[in-house]
Amino acid sequence: MPNSQQSRPLTTDGQLRMLFERTAKLNDKVSALLNPAWGSEMGIIPIDHPLYQGQKPSAAQEEQAAPVDWQAIARQRERELKTEGERKHAAQKERDGAYRERAHLVALLAAMTGDAVIAPALDVPEPGWWIVYLTIGGRQTSWHISPRDAVLFAHVEHVDVEDSRAIWDGHSTEEKYAAITAHTAELAQR
């Protein structure tokens, strides 16, 4: 006959509380076995138990055998993880802001050059990424564009990855910025 009282499944918090309670009880029992006098004082081991020999533990023994407050340790670790998560989130938000600013500037450059094109980025495993290709000072330059920044490039001609203007010439990041620096100096001289 089925049980008439159906129990609802515990939430994650409920399961963690139950785990901490069981761990604390187990920890107390182990501590009582290691220090029977303490266990007797705590009511875990009766005074007439064979392990309890009636001797008072030293202060060092009491300190060593004192039960560990696993819940306090868990709360402290949770605070540490939350703080670390907040720090990482702030750093990611700052980095994303810098990439967004860069995307705005690259979109401006694309509008100022007549041969800018944008094509899907096949080298990024996530969908929606693009690569914008510009010619600056007679040299190819390119930048990866995240899906959230793609809207900034609506004015740029979208081409297939097989379009000759969207084939990477092998330039490195250092070479790209060296070409930009040289072209900027040339423009400043005019």
pTM: 0.56
| Residue 176 maps to a domain | yes
Tens digits of per-residue pLDDT, 62-76?
A: 566 667 788 888 889
Same domain, 75 and 132: no
Per-residue pLDDT for 168 more than 70? yes
Split at pLDDT 50, 70, 90, the class of 4 is very low
- Residue 37 resides in a domain: yes
User: Final residue of a domain: which of 52, 69, 91?
Assistant: 91
The number of distinct structural domains making up the chain is: 2
Domain assignment present for residue 150? The answer is yes
Range scoring the smallest mean pLDDT among 34-43, 130-139, 160-169, 175-184: 34-43
Q: For the chain, how many residues are written?
A: 190
In the β-sheet with 130-136, what is the strand arrangement from edge to edge?
Answer: 139-145, 130-136, 117-120, 157-158
Please check whether residue 7 lies inside any domain of the structure: no
Q: How confident is the model at residue 60, as a pLDDT?
A: 64
Which has the closest alpha carbon to 110: 148, 158, 76?
158
d(CA 7, CA 126): 43
Chain segment 145-155, per-residue pLDDT in tens: 999 999 999 99
pLDDT tens figures, 174-185? 999 999 999 999
**Among positive and negative, which fits the CA dihedral 74, 77, 83, 89?**
negative
Express each pLDDT in 89-146 by its tens digit: 888 888 888 999 999 999 999 999 889 999 999 999 999 999 999 999 899 999 999 9
Cα angle value 106/135/163 (rounded, 5°): 100
What pLDDT is attached to residue 148? 93
Please indicate, yes or no, whether residues 28 and 112 belong to a single structural domain of this protein.
no
- If asked whether residues 167 and 85 sit together in one domain, one would say no
- Do 79 and 117 lie in one domain? The reply is no
Q: Is 104 in the same domain as 67?
A: no
- Residue 6 included in any domain: no
User: What percentage of the chain exceeds 70 in pLDDT?
Assistant: 86
Same domain, 27 and 44: yes
User: Which residue range(s) make up the domain with 110?
Assistant: 95-189
Same domain as 172, residue 118: yes
pLDDT of residue 97: 87
Share of the chain above pLDDT 90, in %: 47
Round to whole Å and give the CA distance between 47 and 55.
11
Q: Using CA atoms, how far apart are residues 185 and 190, in angstroms rounded to an integer?
A: 9
Among the listed ranges 51-55, 107-111, 116-120, 159-163, which one has the minimum average pLDDT value?
A: 51-55
Three-state DSSP class for 134? strand
pLDDT at 25: 81
Q: Supply the mean pLDDT for the chain.
A: 84
**Which tokens belong to 9?**
């499944």
Mean pLDDT confidence for 32-52: 71
